[in-house]
Amino acid sequence: MSTAQPLDSTTTHRSPLRAVARFSVAHRWLVITGWILLLAVGIAGNRAVGGSFVNDLSVSGTDSQAAYDAMRTQFPQLSGDPLQIVIRAEQGVGDPAVRTAVQDTLARIRTSPDVAAVQSPYGPGAAVSADGSTAIITVVFAQRAKDIPPASVQAVETAATGIRDAGVQVEYGGPAAATETGPSGSEVVGLLAAIVVLLVVFGSLFAMVVPLVTALFALGLGISIVGIASAWVSIGTAGPVVAAMIGLGVGIDYALLIVTRHREGLLAGHDAAESIPIALGTAGRSVLVAGSTVIVALLSLFLIGIPFVSALGLASAITVGATLLAAVTLLPALLAVFGGNLDRIRVRPLRLDHGAGRESGWHRWTRRIQRRPWPYLVASSVVLLVLAVPLLSIRLGTADGGSAPVGSTARTSYDLVASEFGPGWTGPLLVTAQYDATASRAQTQSWLDALRSDLATTPGVAAVPSATLNAPGNAAVLSVVPTGAPQDRSTEDLVHRLRSQVLPQAEGATHVGGQTATAIDLADRLGQRLPWFIALVIGLGVLLLLVEFRSVFIPVKAALMNLLSVGAAYGVVVAVFQWGWLSGPLGVRPGPIESFAPMMLFAVLFGLSMDYEVFLLSRVREEYQRTDDAGPAVANGIAATARVITAAASVMVVVFASFLLNDQRVVNLFGFGLAVAIAIDATLVRLVLVPAAMAIAGRRAWWVPRWLDRLLPQIHVEPPQLDPFEAELDPTGTSASR
């Protein structure tokens, strides 16, 4: 085998990505050492100043926020979030020994840090089950859940162990209950599955190791930065797990694309020092564009104006940014360490579908579609539309204690309260009322009694157990227990009914608040803004592809196909997580779709689908520039990328699907939704819809008006040229280096 001709020096010096790659190759050990130090600093910084992860579902400008503001002004001692301590004693909570243990414990809790009030199960308004075996102790903190120091919650739970020592079952629930976050073991399963897939794809041990090491370094750095950021930004409990899921998936995915291109260069006759910069300048460019699209889509969540959702987007964007940094610096350094020995330890013979003159099954598949593109286009579109049908019945909500893992204290307390008191007691509503300060206390009390009566007779209300006036007598707060659980449609309807029909008839300024009402307001706000967000992200994607490919057809086609694939994924998610199809085997509890999930899923999925779009069509464009023949260009481009796209998708599918083993329902939903969407996008869309649409468009797929071409900015990361690997082939497709 002769050595391939070196690249022209004028070409190599014009590419920033190749320059970075050449530096990493030349100083490989310096780069690797720098990454080790960077990761160590990140981990140390997280341990030193990292915060905790909490769910802040508050939404400014909503009725529930107005209720909280009223509570903070008129009832400051009750304006914080509560912790429910559910106790169950077979001998009854009124048993003298149990009563003594409970009262001693309550005395200790009242002196605990940040505790504002404690509702005893033995005083007025006590919550005790009909048979006397179960009671609820409500501990109200001085802050909202996101601001309560974890040590304060732990102090209360530690004090409550005195009740357990008396032989009483003790469980914890409510907004302030301590929530465990962090790795659940699903990450390890995902890694093991990725190892198997990469071994099958590459057939080489070293080639499998490089993407994994790169992804793990990037993930470690990204999660460390997320932990540090949580000290200043309220990031939800699902944030680090979702960020880890996305970072691990795209980290392996991006590295796989670049490593595959590098191996093609080695087989074409280039040495490692030449092949690595070429791979970064071609596949690396696609990765950079795709990753940037993911980051932009995730950061666009800030435009929604809801801190909880924005923080989740920020956490995920940080991990994706870390993967891009690792892909263009650490990955070429690792490849340089292995050099020409990357494929030395093989588990199967090497196989690449690269080369315009090499006939493969992918060539035949694409040409079959090109001969009759319309039936394939219509049939695949119909399949996607059918899968999307459940989306029409989507209902947004927020997970409550009933979605917690079976056996956890949050789930056990929820089930105890629901069975002994009724499902509405797991998430009661708070109604605030502010009256005329000049009214007499007797008149205010009369208004309050009338309001309580109206609430108690409202359909969907099970009870109004308490109503309290403040000291000046100009404000009141009432607890309203729905007949349904917090996630039930009936509870959502009740909140809207109270606001639109009941409270407007009452005296004073009234609002409906509490955790359940806040979750409903969050779902309503996100549902209203979701179409605008989708339009924004699609617009950004269309603009990026328009600039990248200088074509009108390609960005419009990509937008429509991405909508189809994302819609189909949404439909499958609704069928499983809302309708309950296959919920038993998958171990999920049917209920509303997490309110922020559609927005987050769309941001991630749109960016990831752009990954494959850019990678595939960049190769098609290279072929089109080389041959000036649209049909063969599509066939050759798909043949050269189909296996690697399928492999990359397989890695992401197994990684995302492994998160179904996580204990958090929202993480299950994200993992399942991402896995389904990637599987649909990499198969039905990229391998059927794309070749069919490109065949119908022909040369018109690359048309752009001259006036628009002049207006579009030039952002070429890599100078327009023939693929250096293809340049080594003669017209018959035989490598000149053989």
653-679 confidence digits (pLDDT tens): 888 888 888 777 888 898 899 899 989
**CA atoms within 13 A of residue 133's CA, in its CB half-sphere:** 10
Query: In 111-204, where does DSSP find H-type helix?
Result: 150-159, 161-164, 186-202
pLDDT of res. 732? 34
Same-fold call for 77-173 versus 428-513: yes
Q: Is 110 exposed, middle or buried (0-12, 13-18, 19+ CB in 10 A)?
A: middle
Length of the chain: 738
176 pLDDT above the threshold of 70:
yes
pLDDT confidence of 696, banded at 50, 70, 90? very high
Task: Print the SS3 string covering 222-256.
Answer: HHHHHHHHCCCCCCCCCHHHHHHHHHHHHHHHHHH
Q: Which pLDDT does position 180 carry in this prediction?
A: 52
Backbone φ and ψ of 433, nearest 5°: -140, 130
521 pLDDT band, cuts 50/70/90, is: very high
Least reliable range by pLDDT among 333-342, 403-412, 632-641: 403-412
**What is the band of 731 on the pLDDT scale with cuts at 50, 70, 90?**
very low
Q: What is the predicted pLDDT for the residue at 717?
A: 41
Listed ranges 243-247, 375-379, 594-598; the one with the highest mean pLDDT: 375-379
| C-alpha 257: how far from chain center | 23
The pTM of the full predicted model, rounded to 2 decimals, is 0.81
Does the structure show a pLDDT above 80 at 347?
Answer: no
Report the CATH fold assignment for 428-513.
Answer: Alpha-Beta Plaits (3.30.70)
Q: 535 or 11, which is more confident?
A: 535
Least confident of 65-74, 301-310, 688-697: 301-310
pLDDT > 80? residue 716: no
Tokens of 391: 């989306």
Contact by Cβ (8 Å): 396, 593: yes
Q: Decide: helix, strand or coil at residue 664.
A: coil
- The predicted-structure confidence for 400-456, as pLDDT tens digits, reads as follows 777 777 778 888 998 999 999 999 998 899 999 998 888 888 888 898 999 999 999
Higher pLDDT: 332 or 254? It is: 332
For the residues 590-597, what does the mean pLDDT come to?
86
pLDDT value of position 348: 63
* Per-residue confidence band for 3, with pLDDT thresholds at 50, 70 and 90: very low
Q: Are 638 and 616 in contact (CB under 8 A)?
A: yes
Dist. CA 413–CA 401, nearest whole Å: 8
Q: Mean pLDDT over all residues of the chain?
A: 84
> Within a 13 Å sphere around the CA of 502, how many CA atoms are in the beta-carbon half?
24
Side chain identity, residue 379: A
Which range, of 11-20, 425-434, 572-581, averages the lowest pLDDT? 11-20
pLDDT at 520: 92
Share of the chain above pLDDT 90, in %: 30
Asked whether the predicted pLDDT for residue 55 surpasses 80, the reply is no
Residues 6+ apart with CB under 8 A from 403: 487, 589, 591, 665
Q: What pLDDT does 352 receive?
A: 54
Q: What percent of the chain has pLDDT over 70?
A: 92
At residue 178, what are phi and psi to the nearest 5 degrees?
-65, 135
- Residue 304, by phi and psi: left (phi above 0), alpha (psi -120 to 50) or beta? alpha
CA–CA gap between residue 566 and residue 676 (Å, rounded)? 9
Q: What gap in Å lies between CA 67 and CA 470, rounded to an integer?
A: 15
Contact between residue 133 and residue 88 where contact means Cβ atoms under 8 Å apart: yes
* pLDDT of 393 higher than 50: yes
Backbone angles phi, psi at 717, to 5 degrees: -75, -30
Pair of tokens at residue 736: 């000149």
Torsion of CA 709, 715, 717, 722, to 10 degrees: 0
User: Look-up: residue for tokens 């749109």?
Assistant: 606
* Topology adopted by domain 77-173: Alpha-Beta Plaits (3.30.70)
Work out the average pLDDT over 324-343: 91
Residues 6+ apart with CB under 8 A from 180: none
Which CATH architecture best describes the domain 1-53+181-352?
Up-down Bundle (1.20)
In angstroms, the CA 77 to CA 411 distance is: 28
> What does the radius of gyration of the chain's CA atoms come to, in whole angstroms?
30
pLDDT bucket at 317, cuts 50 / 70 / 90:
very high
Instruction: Provide the pLDDT for residue 145.
Output: 77
DSSP state letter for 137: E
| Sequence ranges of the domains in the chain | 1-53+181-352, 77-173, 428-513
Determine the pLDDT at residue 221.
Answer: 95
**Is 566 in contact with 384 (CB distance < 8 Å)?**
no
Going by their DSSP bridges, the two strands 593-594 and 396-397 should be labelled as parallel
